[in-house]
Chain A
Amino acid sequence: MSIDGKLHFNQRIQLITLSHDGIITTTDNNLFSWKKGSSIYDAHPFFEILRGFLLDDENTITEYSFPCIHLEENNLERICDVTIKLDLSEIIIMLFDYTQKYNELNQIAQQKNESILKSRELELKNEYLVEKENFKNNFIANINHEIRTPLTGIMGFIEVLEKTKLSFEQEELVRIIKRESKHLGALIEDMVDISKIEAGQLNIIHERFKFHDLIKGFKETYTKIAEKKGIEFEMYVDPNIQESLISDKTRLHQILNNILNNAFKFTDEGKVSFTIAKNYQRTNKLSINFKISDTGVGIPEKSIPKVFERFTRLQNDQRRSGTGLGLAIVKSLVEALQGDIKVTSIVNEGTTFSINLPFQFDILKTATPKPKKKKKFKLPTSDQKFKVLLVDDEEVNQYLVMKILINHGSFYVDVAMNGEQAIKYVEKRFYDVILMDIKMTVMDGYKTTHIIRNHYGDKEIADVPIIGFTAKATEAERDKCLKAGMDDFIGKPFEQDDLLNKIAKHLQKKTAQ
């Protein structure tokens, strides 16, 4: 409808006639001002299609329709449906301008396609982030392995060094190296915990344990630390709390130890108090509140929301070491145990951490398994030295284990650089025990163990005690070692006594058979 109120049906249509050589013979110029007498091929490249139709002698089609063709003239674009009629005498072109209709459709299509593309983009971004996260977690797991190996060497040699005759100054230096190495070890543990939390691989193991014994352990440890620092340590434990509870004992210990450790770290005078009180109890469930307060440096109000963030170290004090991961881990652990944690603090007056954690207990009294004490084994009596085959490709580990065993005086040690070499050795000589590293080049510990166990009829070879020796100190790794046919497992870093004890245990077992 035009402004004069009359219908102009032809207003959005242009009619053009052409001769067979493409020259415009008539045009109403309703849409485009292509001149009569000019070539249609110069008007717009769309019309080039006509050449094909006209050149094709076998073509019997006389009418063609092309919807939604973008045609431009002098920077003005119209979206038209085009009909071409081929006649013997002339060619008729009809242009129907549907610009408005198509533009409306265009908006809908734009929205629809954009949303599909956007969601795909988000999917891709998500995939990328997951990939990145996995890479990071794998990296942390691998770097953990790589750091643990040399650290085992360092810790082991410190122990060896400690047992030698040292001057006062040397003793002090060894003490510092030991302290720093332990700190590095703790940092690795923190990193592994964080990567496990992020990967959703943090397993909570509910077990029955003696709650009051665990708390007593804290009392003993931190009373000594308090005495050393010259501060007070107060502790109150609600006597109504059951003797035995069910929760993840290891993670509970980690949470409380971390907070207590922080409290002592940041308190130079005054006291640290540790209160444990029952919140409520229903059937076999109870909630316990753990409150750890100190009179330390405190946390500025604006920094309180950040305390549970990763790599947050509020006090820029080099005397107080820390990775800035501890509280982030604590929070994640508390959440994994379905609890909550709060912090209140006043600068120069002190800080209080309050943790609520749920527990379960047995309504009927059941005997709580006594914690296993490490059993001490003695080497069987022998007038000959025990023959040990150490299979390890790390020079530092070889040297460390050799040093420990040779210093002990009861062992004769052969060293194989890898599994293949180990096989050659066991074929030549009988061993009393084999210490088998897992991750080795050429042939790993699992495969080597499998061959020793399955390829020899001679029991002296096939039944030799094998102790897995790995830098991955995980339960899964332990199971893998046992599945592969090993008798035992020792994680790196290890203590001299643990290594000797394990060897003694299996030598005793072998002698008894």
Chain B
Amino acid sequence: MKLSKKVVLLGHFGVGKTSLFRRFIDDAFSEDYKVTLGVQIKKKVITLPSGIELSMVIWDTEGHQEIENTRKSYLLGSHAFVYVFDLTRSDTYENLNDDIAYLKSNYPNVIIRIIGNKLDKVNEKEIKKQLKENATPYDCLTSAKTNKNVSDFFIELAEELTK
């Protein structure tokens, strides 16, 4: 069976959405920061153990400090939102709970996942403690640079999208 699912990467600018996108799609990484204007779209076809061939169409959107500023048309027809924040910049997850609440209320049928990126730049134990203390929710901590947890995250998401 072949399926096509739209996954949108959201979050502040400079949190590493494009790096995660490139790491997952092309297995590439660059230290240079290049701003994303509008949206870049790429597709990765994954064959799951169940035999389902899933086309993950990933929309890498430009970063916004407030989720409401993301163009609504980019979110149309989405199957999953991946909210990315930067573990080294607390301002990128200060409003996370509000942003998630906004997405849940406006897109109740869309799967929402949260990623803390740039794990290579912080002490994992310390940051986990800090996130717990601040009641910051997350599903996965990743490093697009070192490829830590990136593929696993998207494959788990793919499994979920086919359920």
Assess whether A117 is in contact with B33, with CB atoms less than 8 Å apart. yes
Complex: how many Å from CA A124 to CA B86? 13
Closest 7 CB pairs of A and B: A68-B38, A52-B77, A45-B43, A110-B35, A70-B40, A106-B37, A46-B41
Contact among A48, A68, A69, A79 with B57 in the assembled complex (CB-CB below 8 Å): A48
Q: Is B147 an interface residue (CB 8 A)?
A: no
Complex: how many Å from CA A51 to CA B79? 13
Assess whether B37 is in contact with A48, with CB atoms less than 8 Å apart. no
Residues of A within 8 A of B43 (CB): 45, 48
Q: Is B6 an interface residue (CB 8 A)?
A: yes
Residues of A within 8 A of B42 (CB): 45
Assess whether B34 is in contact with A44, with CB atoms less than 8 Å apart. no
Measured CB to CB, the closest approach of chain B to A274, in angstroms, equals: 54
Q: Is A120 an interface residue (CB 8 A)?
A: yes
Complex: how many Å from CA A370 to CA B105? 79
Q: Is B74 an interface residue (CB 8 A)?
A: yes
Q: Is A311 an interface residue (CB 8 A)?
A: no
Which B residue's beta carbon lies closest to that of A81? B38
Complex: how many Å from CA A67 to CA B74? 9
Q: Is A139 an interface residue (CB 8 A)?
A: no
Contact among B4, B13, B33, B37 with A68 in the assembled complex (CB-CB below 8 Å): B37
Residues of A within 8 A of B33 (CB): 113-114, 117
Residues of B within 8 A of A102 (CB): 37-38
Measured CB to CB, the closest approach of chain B to A308, in angstroms, equals: 37
Interface members, chain B 38-89 (any A CB < 8 Å): 38-43, 55, 57, 62-63, 71, 73-74, 76-77, 88-89
Contact among A79, A117, A120 with B37 in the assembled complex (CB-CB below 8 Å): A79
Interface members, chain A 41-94 (any B CB < 8 Å): 44-46, 48-49, 51-53, 64-70, 79
Q: Is B14 an interface residue (CB 8 A)?
A: yes
Assess whether A106 is in contact with B35, with CB atoms less than 8 Å apart. yes
Residues of A within 8 A of B91 (CB): 120
Measured CB to CB, the closest approach of chain A to B32, in angstroms, equals: 10
**Interface size range on A against B:** 20 to 34
Complex: how many Å from CA A451 to CA B109? 64
Contact among B37, B41, B76, B77 with A45 in the assembled complex (CB-CB below 8 Å): B41
**Interface size range on B against A:** 20 to 34
Assess whether B13 is in contact with A49, with CB atoms less than 8 Å apart. no
Assess whether A69 is in contact with B13, with CB atoms less than 8 Å apart. no
Q: Which of A49, A79, A106 has the most CB of B within 10 A?
A: A49
Assess whether A45 is in contact with B57, with CB atoms less than 8 Å apart. yes
Assess whether A69 is in contact with B41, with CB atoms less than 8 Å apart. yes
Interface members, chain A 254-310 (any B CB < 8 Å): none
- Pull 25 A–B residue pairs with CB atoms less than 8 Å apart, ordered by A: A45-B43, A45-B57, A48-B4, A48-B43, A48-B55, A49-B6, A49-B76, A49-B77, A52-B6, A52-B77, A53-B77, A64-B73, A66-B39, A66-B71, A67-B71, A67-B73, A68-B37, A69-B38, A69-B39, A69-B41, A79-B37, A102-B38, A116-B13, A116-B14, A117-B14
Complex: how many Å from CA A340 to CA B33? 47
Measured CB to CB, the closest approach of chain B to A283, in angstroms, equals: 53
Assess whether B39 is in contact with A51, with CB atoms less than 8 Å apart. no
Q: Is A109 an interface residue (CB 8 A)?
A: yes
Complex: how many Å from CA A105 to CA B38? 11
Which A residue's beta carbon lies closest to that of B34? A110
Assess whether A120 is in contact with B89, with CB atoms less than 8 Å apart. yes
Measured CB to CB, the closest approach of chain B to A81, in angstroms, equals: 9
Residues of B within 8 A of A113 (CB): 13-14, 33, 35, 63
